Structure 1
Amino acid sequence: MTRENKIINSGIASTEGIVYQFYIALWQCFQLETGQKLWIEKFGDITISGEAQLETKHYTDPLTDSHPNFWKTLKNWLHPTFNHSHYKKLILITNQSFGSKSTLINWNSADEKTRLKILEDILLDSEKRHTNIEGSKSPSQNLINQRTILNKQQDKLKEIIPKIYISIEYPEMDEIYKRISDVHARLILQAKKNDFFEGLIGYLITPSKISNSWEITYEGFNEKIISLTEAYKKNTQVFPSKFLIGEASADQIQQNSTKRFIKKIYQINHLDAVSDAITHYLIASLTVLEEFKNFEVDMSSYNIYKNNLKEIHKTQHRKAKRNLLGDPMIASQNFYDDLTGENPLPFPVFRDTPIAFRNGIFHILADDKLGNFEWRLWD
């Protein structure tokens, strides 16, 4: 393997470990109880107030007796700035399985004295290997860590040993995703489960959380779950918002500038309305084509809504022509602004129908070559 490939693989593994940590943090957020808090990267990888300190590790090789994963974790928990008295448990979470000859396999069921003996035997075995195989070479960093932990920090080690639990073969990221989907997203529309998951991950890594000691509270997390569930559940009343953000790009404006609905705006010389019209047209079109399917909206509801808007336009257009005074161009622009500025007709099953969506349906109607939808007030 080339040096470049080693660097790339190392970077991928490092990134994978970070992502794995967030997946585990998210799963742990679901286990929080009223009043509890969870911190990420404040006192360690993951901290649960009054309960546990979690170190999360992702490796491709098994957890052997001398694996750096275990000994680096011990070293972290023995650091002078780490106060283990705040926690009932110190948990090493790893996707690894135990090595075939690992004596750590008996760790969780062993008492305090036996656990200490396991560590001492591992150090003794490491010293023998160093003497017999490595000879006069300098000791590895892992051996140095083992010596420091057992020879210089044994008093504190004895204090934390009873709290340590090794959680092996922890689910991989795809399995954590599946568990959250199956257990906590049962009310979510199938097509929106990924949005639900991404919304929760986004909540964990939002800048406001990071700047606030990366603290997640039970109450705040619960509110986020309620909010996302309300938005993505079956028969939700929250209007789909995926395409409601932002304005049409310069390319999108250029691509749509020759459409029939834009030509009708040019007819009344309402140039200021063109950009918004294209934005609203895209919002409505994409929402109907993509999101309504995901939200299982009956298309008959859409057709009824569109026909109702068509009737509203026809009635208001007829009235505006009847009351026409002065310059018909200015009057047509006013008619356009009045109709597109009104409170929107509610869409069946959703509350708070956005004006942008309603206006986009107007433009879809105006773009229909078989329709008779006009903004101009002259024949």
Structure 2
Amino acid sequence: MAQMKTAIGLMSGTSMDGIDIALIRTDGRDRVERGPSMGVGYEPAFRNRLKSALNEARALTDRTQRPGDLSAIERNLTLRHAVAVNDFLASNGLSPTDIDVIGFHGQTILHCPDAALTVQLGDGALLAQSTGIAVVHDMRAHDMTFGGQGAPLIPVYHAALAQSAGQTAPLVFVNIGGISNLTFIGTEGDIVAYDSGPGNTLIDQWVETHTGGTFDKDGAIASAGRIIPSLAERYLDHAFFSSNLRRSLDRNDFSPPAVADAALADGARTLAYVTAAAILKSARHLPERPQTLVICGGGRLNPVIMDDLRRLGAKEDIAVIVAEEAGLDGDAMEAEAWAYLAVRSMEGLPLTFPGTTGVTKPVTGGVFNPVLPAQSPFAD
């Protein structure tokens, strides 16, 4: 039996709103013991710096390039993660010696699978130095070396959770983050995964343009609006949904509406519907109809999206539940997954599979950063 390891996962997603932190114990296979978690928000000024990084990244042709302000942003981002880890340890009565590894996602600033290019800001060696804990980072790039899309990486963790939670297949885990993605687990245990369409990003961008806020809290804005059919159809008629080729999305693949297209509430309501409808439309590409959709990520907290999902799911005889109804944590799941993936990486186990990213064969990935004696980066 493989040895259990204690791992921390760190996730900063496409919404760029902060860091999710979670602890698990796992053998990197089918044994998962979930521990505490917490979130740390970014202040508006740093979030704006991350947005500027997205613009600078558009000119990148190599994932190691850090022109302009990107190097400074990467260092700042990494040290923020280090502070978050140290605060997490202190609040849970833990020390660095209690943790075997950190799985560090970093911040995606460019994702172009057709060009085999994905760029995540985050210095794994600096994080290891700053926390005193070994770090595995850069877990997407190796997949692309073997023809994969570099995403999604969470499906192998979803499969482990389904087994531990006793969920009945066929079922689908849906993560509604900035971009939504599906993980299908079939009756024979087969795994299929792909991005399903825009998640929260379009709504967030729309609300920010109109109000300066960062998101539609509790769907309050959308609940006051109406769906504009022509606007919804413009998104749902996109070739992404009809193509038989499932591919990974970048946050720039779908753009928010023009300000003239809708009033604030109507635009938010329409985009909430698009988020839900895109999930059901993309699910039609699965090898069999799922019995259940288990909804994770921040989008599950938007009651307008959830009402649309339940209504659309009922038309296809698909039950829709949130992660908590399955005994899981929908906020911590991605961070938990990165902890799990770090352990798998250390064990040399596959992170991605032909059915999840389109990679030519199951492959592992990640860069291991041991703890080395060095001066603290906070000293300067």
TM-score by length of 2: 0.27
Larger helix share, 1 or 2: 1
Larger strand share, 1 or 2: 2
Which has the greater radius of gyration? Answer: 1
TM-score by length of 1: 0.27
